[in-house]
Amino acid sequence: MKCKYCDQDLPLIHSHIVPEFLYTSLYDSQHRFLILSNADKKPFSLKQKGIRENLFCETCDKKIGNYEDYVAKVFKGGVGLTMSDKNGLITIHDIDYAKMKLFTMSLVWRMSISSHEIFSNVKLGPHEDRLKQMITSENPGTIDDYSCVSFILYDKGELVKDLISMPEIVKSQGIRVCRFIAGALIWMIFISIHNKQYEGRKWFLGFDNKMFIRKANVTDFPFIVDMAKRIVNKR
């Protein structure tokens, strides 16, 4: 079968779409996690480790894996980074922009090429090929290309570790954004290369060579409250 990364006819690996380190905290509890969905569907309950699909050959899977290894280390504190935490904002001062950015771009691209139901809302149209070109040529673009912002989620002062949402495309200031919750973060990856006017650009990944993670409460986000209500109503 054709590898989606290098387009060569090679044996494909059963690759994950969202890397496992984003789920790790969940496995520690019940080895089962619930995925919130805004659609009129039952919430997904997945017992297997992550969501896997035959997308890439071994070599290409490793290339993507390199970005993931870096990001996993960032979140687990395995790389020496200078971080500050003040006024509700976590700043990572010396982030490797290219690696982090290519990771976020590859994440949304993989969601788009996946045929798994959980990613059915993420269809990128012409941006799919554009992203593929940038990722395969290891070009992270500028901070305004497929920009990324993130929030870390708290509920009554506790970090929310046990929440994953079905990725969806929403509009933010008129721009299409892929939004999902994983690894205690809300990820917002812009499906656009025209984000210069975005209010909040100063929090884009890579602005001033930094990464910013804003602290937020689940109740700050009506979409989370709505998703939770749907689940309660269906039980």
16 versus 210: smaller Cβ distance to Zn ion: 16
Could you say which residues in the range 53-72 bind Zn ion, by CB under 5 A? 57, 60
Per CB under 5 A, 46 contacts Zn ion: no
**Coil, strand or helix at 228:** helix
Is residue 172 exposed (0-12), middle (13-18) or buried (19+ Cβ within 10 Å)?
Answer: middle
Per-residue contact string for residues 1-20; x = within reach of Zn ion by CB under 5 A: --x-xx--------------
Interface segment toward Zn ion; rule CB under 5 A; list 26-34, 52-60, 98-106, 112-120: 52-60
Per CB under 5 A, 109 contacts Zn ion: no
Those residues with Cβ within 8 angstroms of residue 62's Cβ, 6 or more apart along the chain or in another chain? none
Per CB under 5 A, 113 contacts Zn ion: no
68 versus 96: smaller Cβ distance to Zn ion: 68
Per CB under 5 A, 178 contacts Zn ion: no
Task: For strands 148-155 and 211-217, give the pairing.
Answer: parallel
Size of the site for Zn ion (CB under 5 A): 5
Those residues with Cβ within 8 angstroms of residue 59's Cβ, 6 or more apart along the chain or in another chain? 6, 10
Both tokens assigned to 70: 């870096």
* Contacts with Zn ion, residue ranges (CB under 5 A): 3, 5-6, 57, 60
